[in-house]
């Protein structure tokens, strides 16, 4: 009886503590934000819309309240500002909250209400608030990616036009840079030739800008963030992980301790298979493709490069032998994705244990 009394007293004390708290769900947008402000029991709810640039000032009168904001463009920065101002602000997983509706209705008021209810009932699917350095590095690499996609699109355009005149350039950027200028100069129509020459010139400029961004980012990390750069150098020792992939991996992971193990990290990147299981039936599908698409694609590109060259290596690492065995069992394409997953897990082990590839490659935990 005494134990029950103590437990009841603890519950009552906890309820009294939480009863005075305010919970705020914020449906965050570029121009305006809709807020649902409620008490712990959800009995009193107030919905208000404020301009996004006035959100911080509006919340000054709600210091000590619990605030939830869905992840979207600018939400990381907003949460960082709110936390710096003394608020208890949290980022929310949009993919999980969007499936929770109210009576089949979806609008800004309902979205904000769902967030406030999840917050007060402690059922909130939280998201890691990334550090400023992590966001800076990823932003720079996204800018580089935009240049890459533009360049590749222009190269395909030029190749397509040349084929219309019976000129075919073999696949690969090296062949394009070597043969495209001469092929364009052979076009008799001056208007088409001039346009293609400008395209080739633009492609070369884009390539130069890509290289410049890569060098600038590397110097920035090495000079201002030596610990970050040390992690990048360790990852670069792994076959299939280059400088760009290494920097993006460290930026996306941000804090290795937020993942329980390498499997969770691979799942976070969407490199684990979907599962359709019920009762005695277990069925695995294609990979989930969740998480950072750019990092997942870079890892798959790196894995494909390893798969194409591994058979010619005289001295093979543990990963090389593992990749060859996978290729024999499940084929080239599936083995490539499996190897990408393996590279991600090895990278996790390197960052977790602060060791080089030679030490980590023999650990089962990777």
44 or 16, higher pLDDT: 44
Burial profile 218-244: b = 16 or more Cβ within 10 angstroms, e = fewer = eebbeeebeebbebbebbeebbbbeeb
Q: Is the pLDDT of residue 9 over 80?
A: no
Q: Which two tokens stand for residue 129?
A: 């608030």
213-265 pLDDT per residue, tens = 999 999 999 999 999 999 999 999 999 999 999 999 999 999 999 999 999 99
Q: Tell me, what's the pLDDT at 18?
A: 60
Top pLDDT among 102 and 53 is at 53
pTM of structure: 0.86
Q: How far is CA 64 from CA 113, 120, 126, 250, in A?
A: 19, 14, 19, 33
Higher pLDDT, 6 or 119: 119
Q: Is residue 125 helix, strand or coil? A: coil
256 and 351 Cβ atoms separated by less than 8 Å: yes
Lowest mean pLDDT among 239-248, 279-288, 321-330: 279-288
> Is 45's pLDDT higher than 50?
yes
8-state DSSP, 10? H
pLDDT of 93 over the 90 cut: no
Tell me which CATH homologous superfamily contains domain 19-127: ATPase, nucleotide binding domain (3.30.420.40)
- The pLDDT of 161-180, averaged and rounded, is 94
Least confident of 118-122, 201-205, 301-305, 336-340: 118-122
Give the SS3 label for residue 249.
Answer: helix
Domain ranges of the chain: 19-127, 132-224, 229-360
pLDDT over 70 (residue 62)? yes
pLDDT higher than threshold 70 for residue 13? no
Read off the pLDDT of each residue in 15-32 and give the average, rounded to a whole number: 81
d(CA 324, CA 328): 6
**Where does residue 363 rank: exposed (0-12), middle (13-18), buried (19+ CB within 10 A)?**
middle
Whole-number pLDDT of residue 365: 44
């Amino acid at each position: 009886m005494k134990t029950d009394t103590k437990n009841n007293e603890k519950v009552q004390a906890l309820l009294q503590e939480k009863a005075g708290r305010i919970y705020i769900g914020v449906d965050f947008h570029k121009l305006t934000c809709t807020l649902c402000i409620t008490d712990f029991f959800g009995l009193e709810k107030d919905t208000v819309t404020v301009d996004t640039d006035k959100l911080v000032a509006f919340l000054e009168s709600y210091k000590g309240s619990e605030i939830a904001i869905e992840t979207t463009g600018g939400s990381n920065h907003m949460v960082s500002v709110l936390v710096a101002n003394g608020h208890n602000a949290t980022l929310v997983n949009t993919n999980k909250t969007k499936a929770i509706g109210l009576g089949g209705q979806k609008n800004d008021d309902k979205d904000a209400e769902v967030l406030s209810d999840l917050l007060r009932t402690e059922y909130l699917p939280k998201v890691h608030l990334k550090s400023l350095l992590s966001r800076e590095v990823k932003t720079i690499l996204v800018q580089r990616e935009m240049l890459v996609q533009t360049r590749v699109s222009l190269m395909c355009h030029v190749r397509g036009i040349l084929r219309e005149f019976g000129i075919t350039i073999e696949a690969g950027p090296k062949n394009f840079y070597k043969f495209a200028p001469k092929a364009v100069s052979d076009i008799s129509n001056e208007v088409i030739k001039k346009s293609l020459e400008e395209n080739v010139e633009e492609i070369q400029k884009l390539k130069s800008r890509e290289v410049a961004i890569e060098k600038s980012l590397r110097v920035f990390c090495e000079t201002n963030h030596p610990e970050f750069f040390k992690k990048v150098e360790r990852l670069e020792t792994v076959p299939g992980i280059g400088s760009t992939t290494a920097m993006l991996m460290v930026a996306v992971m941000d804090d290795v301790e937020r993942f329980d193990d390498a499997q969770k990290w691979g799942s976070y990147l969407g490199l684990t298979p979907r599962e359709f299981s019920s009762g005695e039936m277990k069925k695995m599908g294609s990979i989930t493709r969740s998480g950072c698409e750019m990092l997942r694609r870079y890892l798959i590109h790196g894995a494909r490069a390893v798969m194409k060259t591994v058979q010619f290596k005289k001295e093979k690492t543990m990963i090389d032998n593992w990749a060859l065995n996978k290729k024999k069992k499940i084929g080239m394409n599936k083995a490539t994705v499996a190897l990408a997953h393996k590279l991600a897990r090895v990278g996790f082990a390197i960052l977790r244990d602060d060791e080089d590839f030679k030490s980590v490659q023999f650990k089962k935990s990777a």
